[in-house]
Structure 1
């Protein structure tokens, strides 16, 4: 299938540069351009704006490759991050620049990126042809994709350009006959990619199915050791820099919990043994959001409208403020800012016996927020836990800075909307 020109990153960068970088220069520096007397300050400003735009568009392109996320929420954080990087360079090296130009360029850039993402979403609906054999029914429930059923009468060699972005088939099914295999081979020769059903399902849902984890999949789930070290350093730096903001908020939460529980004399902090990286036990901290007797009958999963949750507890659970004390766990090295959520010992022992490969989620440090949390929310039973585990495996397989940044953005959205809170 022929791509729309706007799907090419180079086209978006070129058009963006004309509007975001060149247009403000023409508006503000026209007299200098006519007299061929452009100042160094103006040149520096145009270069800074160009670098920020390129970083923003590349960042947006990378972030929108991940499934199950609305690209619009990534625009503002991506632009702010790019602007911050360029701004720090200008300040550190004391490079002269034009405030008026960069301000106008930033406004136009924000508008351009929003409109670009809106238009990009409108022209990039994915069309996938599928072979109606095997487990294809599981694909048809995936939204935002136009599914086209193939027949043996379809002849790829009769089309100059196939009307699909890709073709998918269940290669493991014995009913995939030689006739179908020839059709798929011809499709690939025509330049249209042919994928296994498992690859497509993973890329569109952000989940790695547990029951299809073969040995080659497990080999690909080994996280980058170098990024693990970088991640540890970044976690520490981010927490230390955020302390001036976090501490006053935490103090307000502490005072409110104390006032709400003034008659019960309950503790502000909730401590619980959780399973960390490598299956090691550690003590996790949270602000108390439930009544003191919440777990007198043993560990229980949170459910919708849980009667154990206090009034203020419901608020801090919805906004995720109850997780703030886990910054201590991150500084101690028990947790990371981003990763699979740590589970209780009782549940881990249960899931190890009933859910295949459950132990594998402990190959990385647990996190305060994670891919499963922003995509699914809390799990209240074993079936939902299996779905969350598939999200965890997807995170481990795609373990990277880009995915972590996307989770940070979606975590902020989750805090604002209360998605998945119980």
Structure 2
């Protein structure tokens, strides 16, 4: 307080207005400024989170089984190739695991080397675009969640080669690996595809906000926004 008025750092104001952590402006004070959410160590919250993961994954897999005939037919006519694909991703504490998805791209999508998906990516098939917009392509990841590799909510798991590149460019990028990656998350519902370094910085800011502020209320906000994306075909 100064002269009867509350004085706050600009980083706090930025965070409250944007719901992002301005990691690029914090520098050496990062760990003082970034007290990890108590819920990261709260046994009751962690129990709730794991229970939510199991319940929603079972519901998601049951729904996925009902949709499987449609996916099989669409893959046969529109994708013409393997139904599933797996890919190595980076999880909690930088441990590697394989993620499962319904294939939405052409079979030779990475002949020229690994590259980020982008808006209007020409490698995505017509049926694959439907899978992505409806988020049906993500349904096999409920298996990853039941196995404990992922959670329903958390930072999006990236590929090792991209994590290595982004860790060199973006300060404190590895902090996103202190919790399990998620099928959906604050960055996923708030930010667009990561096509540039600035896009990935913005996504990290959202991820750190979630890690810092994670709570039942914030989880509910994310789930509601995700359901809205699915129901109104807003997926990318």
3-state SS in 2 of match to 1:340: coil
Contact kept? 2:192, 2:199, Cα under 8 Å: no
* Structure 2 counterpart of 1:201, from 1, 11, 14: 14
* Structure 2 counterpart of 1:350, from 138, 145, 165: 165
Residue 325 of structure 1, CA deviation: 0.5
* 1:401-420 alignment, distance < 5 Å: 401-419=216-234
* 1:229-240 alignment, distance < 5 Å: 229-240=47-58
Bigger-Rg structure (1/2) = 1
* Structure 1 counterpart of 2:76, from 239, 255, 258: 258
* 1:181-200 alignment, distance < 5 Å: 185-188=2-5, 193-200=6-13
3-state SS in 2 of match to 1:284: strand
3-state SS in 1 of match to 2:2: helix
* 1:144-293 alignment, distance < 5 Å: 185-188=2-5, 193-211=6-24, 212=26, 214=29, 215-220=31-36, 223-226=40-43, 227-262=45-80, 266-293=81-108
Contact kept? 1:250, 1:324, Cα under 8 Å: no
Q: Output the CA distance in 2 between the equivalents of 1:277 and 1:261.
A: 32
Aligned to 1:381: 196
CA RMSD of aligned residues (A): 1.8
3-state SS in 1 of match to 2:12: helix
Q: Output the CA distance in 1 between the equivalents of 2:174 and 2:145.
A: 21
Residue 221 of structure 1, CA deviation: 5.1
TM superposition score normalised by structure 2: 0.91
Q: 1:336 to 1:420 in 2, by over 3 A?
A: same
Residue 292 of structure 1, CA deviation: 0.4
Give deviations 1:72-96, integer Å, cap 9, x for gaps: xxxxxxxxxxxxxxxxxxxxxxxxx
Q: Output the CA distance in 2 between the equivalents of 1:398 and 1:187.
A: 28
Q: Output the CA distance in 2 between the equivalents of 1:353 and 1:369.
A: 25
3-state SS in 1 of match to 2:34: helix
Residue 273 of structure 1, CA deviation: 0.2
Q: Output the CA distance in 1 between the equivalents of 2:145 and 2:18.
A: 29
- Which of structures 1 and 2 has the larger relative contact order (alpha carbons within 8 angstroms, sep 6+)? 2
Give deviations 1:171-216, integer Å, cap 9, x for gaps: xxxxxxxxxxxxx71242xxxx432211111011110011215221
Aligned to 1:299: 114
Deviant stretches of 4+, over 4 Å: none
List alignment gaps of at least 5 residues for structure 2: none
Q: Output the CA distance in 2 between the equivalents of 1:383 and 1:418.
A: 26
Give deviations 1:47-72, integer Å, cap 9, x for gaps: xxxxxxxxxxxxxxxxxxxxxxxxxx
List alignment gaps of at least 5 residues for structure 1: 1-183
